[in-house]
Amino acid sequence: MGLFAKRSRVFFIEEPVFDMPFTECLIEKDKETNVYVVTPHVMGTPSYEEAMNAQRTLLEALFLKAEMEHYIFWYYTPMALPFTDHLQPLAVVYDCMDELSAFKGAPRELVPLEEQLMDKADVVFTGGHSLYEAKKNRHDNIFPFPSSIDNNHFSQARTLTDNPTDQVNIPEPRLGFYGVIDERFDTELVRKIAALRPDFHYVFIGPIVKIDTDNLPQAPNIHYLGPKMYKELPAYLAQWEIAIMPFAINESTRYISPTKTPEFLSGGKPVISTPIRDVVTPYGDLGLVHIAESAEEFITAADEIRKIKSVTTLHNEWLTKVDSMLEGNSWSITWKAMEALIDNAVENNMYHVKADSHV
């Protein structure tokens, strides 16, 4: 969105917060990206219909205040359709990052709303190849865009030496993960690998969502450090020996393409992951990420990685392969491809409008 904001204003509409004695939108411009972050605050605890109507009213007020006449709609979720479908954008983009209907607590309206959004969208992007395979027959202008990276940001982990204060007293070797800890997190796997190697310390960074904290594995060598700012992540990553992705294999992970895979590799960290399809191909197939199905395989992979790291030439060979792959993976490259597809959609719509006006 920051790259988009270099050519036009971008308003990122967050999901509503139900915490106010009155209804209003709070708008804050991000200094680094120039993206306007819009947070709708809705009064009380409204019904679904009331919440949609409130957001519709707030959005109309935003359009008037910002003097928006020509605009593009970029949807991350079909749940935004009910309070936006009365407006007339130049083009509609559906950026399908996940199979949201497979997530715990997914609203029943999600599936029919996605059907409507697929019909309405001029171009559809998917967050990975497996999701593309699942959706490709539902739209005639759909393209896969796996996770990209800000290489300059995460590669800092290769040279940073200062350890964050809440991590400095955690013994080495450290195996770490950052991301949302939810139903995609394999709690039993983590419990087992922690018990198999009590001399390894496991660091988990991120918010805990839709999962009972009482069910999280607890042990002296398991450490939950909570959410961190994006800019802080390289400092934590720098002090890990290995990055891990202990995802459960279930419906909620069937189509995920974890952004953290290239980020961990950019930071120069070997990675162990469960067999997520978009991690196995291409990262596992190319020997860049170790794939482990069980706790025992996780530990075997960790020991193998540590042996490789002790031999400088072998580790450098692996890093060279990593850098070769990541060379063509950046948000700027991804954005240029997306931008061309969006511009093409706008041009097609404008052509049809002109053609219809002459009928």
306-327 pLDDT per residue, tens: 999 999 999 999 999 999 999 9
* Section 10-34 average pLDDT: 90
Q: Is the pLDDT assigned to residue 359 strictly greater than 50?
A: no
| CATH code at 4-149+331-357 | 3.40.50.2000
More confident residue, 295 or 25: 295
- Report yes or no: 90 and 346 within 8 Å, Cβ to Cβ: yes
The pLDDT mean for the chain works out to 94
Which pLDDT score is estimated for 354?
A: 55
Q: Which CATH number is 151-326's, of 1.10.357.10, 3.30.43.10, 3.40.50.2000, 3.20.20.70?
A: 3.40.50.2000
* Alpha-carbon gap, residue 303 to 346, rounded angstroms: 53
Residue 295 CA to residue 197 CA, distance in Å, equals 10
Q: How far apart are CA 151 and CA 331, in angstroms?
A: 9
φ, ψ for residue 82 (rounded to 5)?
Answer: -60, -25
Higher pLDDT, 359 or 259: 259
Give backbone dihedrals phi and psi of 24, rounded to 5 degrees, phi first. Answer: -160, 165
Residue ranges per structural domain of the chain:
4-149+331-357, 151-326
Cβ pair 235, 162 in contact under 8 A? yes
Q: Other CB atoms closer than 10 Å to residue 223's CB: what's the count?
A: 18
Q: Residue-wise over 113-152: b if at least 16 C-beta within 10 A, else e?
A: bbeebbebbbbbbbbbbbbbeebeeebeebebbbbbbebe
pLDDT tens readout for residues 80-130: 999 999 999 999 999 999 898 888 888 889 999 999 999 999 999 999 999
Q: What is the mean pLDDT of residues 284-299?
A: 97
CA 29 distance to own-chain centroid: 21
Residue 87 to residue 68: CA distance in whole angstroms: 11
Share of the chain above pLDDT 90, in %: 86
The 10s digit of each residue's pLDDT in 149-197 is 999 999 999 999 999 999 999 999 999 999 999 999 999 999 999 999 9
Quick check: do 4-149+331-357 and 151-326 share a fold?
A: yes
Residue 139 is given by DSSP the state -
| Percentage of the chain exceeding pLDDT 70 | 98
Burial 155-178 (b: 16+ CB within 10 A, else e): bbbeeeeeebeebeebeeebbbbb
Instruction: Return the pLDDT at 356.
Output: 57
